Amino acid sequence: MTIAQFQELIERIYLEKDSRRGLAGTFMWFAEETGELARALRAGEHQQARAEFADVLAWLATLASIAGVDLEEAARAKYERGCPKCGGIPCRCAE
């Protein structure tokens, strides 16, 4: 599944409901899911982290859709030539 296909799937499943909640309300859910991912990573719970990664990606996709952003195009525009700062693949920027 491409990023665009995933974003379209999430739109079909959730966009109507998430649009009613609005960008700010939906962002709060995204932040909560990010916290759940952090807890799973900290605890070393691989299966739980895997599920939380999927949730975070879904909430990010719905946020992008509400904001009118095509995630695949945005990622391509920013990263297809490597690091946005140094252009390296891998990045050669100082830490």
Domains of the chain in sequence order: 3-79 (1.10.287.1080)
Per-residue confidence (pLDDT) for residue 13, from 0 to 100: 97
Mean predicted confidence (pLDDT) in 71-88: 97
pLDDT in tens, 3-56: 999 999 999 999 999 999 999 999 999 999 999 999 999 999 999 999 999 999
Asked if pLDDT for residue 95 goes beyond 90, the answer is: no
This prediction's pTM:
0.91
pLDDT at 3: 97
Contact between 86 and 92 under an 8 Å Cβ cutoff? The reply is yes
CA–CA dist 34, 52 (Å, integer)? 8
